[in-house]
Structure 1
Amino acid sequence: MACAASTEPIRPRVLDQALELHPLVALRPEPFGALAYHYGNRRLVFLRHPDIVGVARDLGEHPSLSATLAAHHIAPSRWPSFARAFESLKSSEIVRER
């Protein structure tokens, strides 16, 4: 953990988590990315970029979110925004921990 005076950014925990697309979620491709519909809680979520869609589809094939991002050649400078997006997708139950 970084101390209060540290200049090192804190790595979001979600990057190290083993995630998967929830089995009750269907993704429908759209020009902007995809619609994610959860048949259990009836939530509809917009995935607004094709990179997020690709990563979401492949989460279960990699040991962590960061490994999935690396496999998709997502620049590390973009990882914080992906971490925020996948935290939100976890809270919506679109993705879950394995």
Structure 2
Amino acid sequence: MLDPDRPYRCSPSVALRPETFGALAYHFGTRRLSFLKTPALVELVTTLDEYADIRTALTASLIPTAEHGVYLAALDALADAGTIEPR
């Protein structure tokens, strides 16, 4: 389960391929493919390691506060897939 008060990063085993809708994330270890469905989510995932925790990363992003819950759910799914991981 994702803990938004902890620091996370994009897994080094993941490659992101930019797409018009956002990005495809391929995990070389699990061979799972995930879809990052918005450019804002791609930006959030790629900059997670610059912040003390996920909440700080969300606050620093251009994502409206009202949408933070949606992005936390997306990050939770990406954590389950191994796309992002605690650091």
TM over 0.5: yes
Q: Following the alignment from structure 2 to structure 1, what is the Cα–Cα distance between the partners of residues 5 and 34?
A: 23
Provide the TM-score with structure 1 as the length reference: 0.83
Shift of 1:74: 1.6
SS in 2 for 1:74: coil
**What residue is the counterpart of 1:47 in the other structure?**
36
Q: Following the alignment from structure 2 to structure 1, what is the Cα–Cα distance between the partners of residues 65 and 41?
A: 14
Given the alignment of the two structures, is residue 72 of structure 1 paired with residue 61 of structure 2, yes or no?
Answer: yes
Q: Percent identity?
A: 36
Contact 1:14 1:86 in 2 (8 A): no
Q: Structure 1: state its 5+ residue gaps.
A: 1-12
Q: Following the alignment from structure 2 to structure 1, what is the Cα–Cα distance between the partners of residues 55 and 64?
A: 11
Shift of 1:17: 2.0
Q: Following the alignment from structure 1 to structure 2, what is the Cα–Cα distance between the partners of residues 14 and 84?
A: 11
- What is the identity, as a one-letter code, of the residue corresponding to 1:92? A
Query: Which of 1, 15, 21 is matched with 1:26 structurally?
Result: 15
For the pair shown, the structure with the greater C-alpha radius of gyration is 1
Q: Structure 2: state its 5+ residue gaps.
A: none
- Aligned residue pairs total 86
Q: Following the alignment from structure 2 to structure 1, what is the Cα–Cα distance between the partners of residues 6 and 64?
A: 19
Shift of 1:73: 2.3
